[in-house]
Structure 1
């Protein structure tokens, strides 16, 4: 799989919402309009995020990096295999994946869509590998971007 087919220009989003569920709803509305997700996607991604949080503390990757989240749900609720980058103009609270009782201020979301059973695990591994190998300054630049075209261009060039 190449990076060219796991990102789509119309599946990069910037949200001005300040609440997790509103970010997920706004992103869902955008993805639904473009046919990437099914009508029951939103309720399932929120329920999964409540039960299995996806916030990631990025302090282990380098100094002054914004935290991220990688929400996803089962393949039966999506129509495509994509990583959907969502830039947040203000931090939004997600629960920590490793310590679910802890809250994290998240500034960037990599929403995972995979219409194969348990396919999100492979996409999650690819996101984690990308985060680990990308130079900290480049990663910091990406996670602070709020222009969807710039985000798409960066990821097409750097995500391998």
Structure 2
């Protein structure tokens, strides 16, 4: 069994040129995108902000800076993986051991209803993708939701 349910990548969950001054604003805008599709509960926004404050998710890889924010399952109606390529990098606090902010060029928001082990496996798979220079180039070159979904599914399979 693969670590990532590839069906969680969907065109409706890919956002380009997202504009946000900070991670809180990104989450507020993302909530407005996810709610109409029934992915999230009313508690999602407060839940993801609190989790990001407690467990920051910014990571600086050799070729790209990313954020992998996720939320606890009780804030979800159904699982999803959203991919956000902001217009300008958005500052996220660095993950454990990283001082300061990371200017995230791509954000992968995990809304997983699986247990903690499943979430860790997905995070590990994504980290492997972002360590691969060629994979990062392919992701950053995407300009359509369908292309991003196809690329992410292929890279995470």
Q: Find the counterpart in structure 1 of residue 23 from structure 2.
A: 20
- Residue by residue over 1:57-79, the C-alpha shift from the partner in whole angstroms, topping out at 9 and shown as x without a partner, is 112xxxxx220000011111112
Give the secondary structure class of the aligned counterpart of 1:42: helix
Number of residue pairs the alignment of both structures matches: 153
Query: Structure 1 residue 113: deviation in Å?
Result: 0.9
Q: What's the TM-score, normalizing by structure 2?
A: 0.85
Contact 1:83–1:123 (8 Å) recurs in 2: no
Cα RMSD of the aligned pairs, angstroms, is 2.0
User: What are the ranges of 5 or more consecutive residues in structure 1 without an aligned counterpart?
Assistant: 60-64
Contact 1:66–1:140 (CA<8 Å) still a contact in 2? no
Query: Is the Cα contact below 8 Å between 2:83 and 2:106 reproduced in 1?
Result: yes
Equivalent in 93, 96, 110 of residue 94 of structure 2: 96
In structure 2, stretches of 5+ residues that fail to align are none
Q: Deviations over 1:30-66 (max 9, x none)?
A: 111111111110111011111110001112xxxxx22
Residues 88/144 of structure 1: CA separation in 2 closer, same or farther (3 Å cut): farther
Query: Is residue 156 of structure 2 the alignment partner of residue 153 of structure 1?
Result: no
The 3-state SS of whatever aligns with 2:89 is strand
Distance 1:147 1:17, change over 3 A: farther
Question: What SS is found at the alignment partner of 1:10?
Answer: strand
Q: What's 1:81 paired with?
A: 79
Shift of 1:23: 1.1
For 1:47-126, list aligned pairs within 5 A. Answer: 47-59=50-62, 65-99=63-97, 101-118=99-116, 119-126=118-125
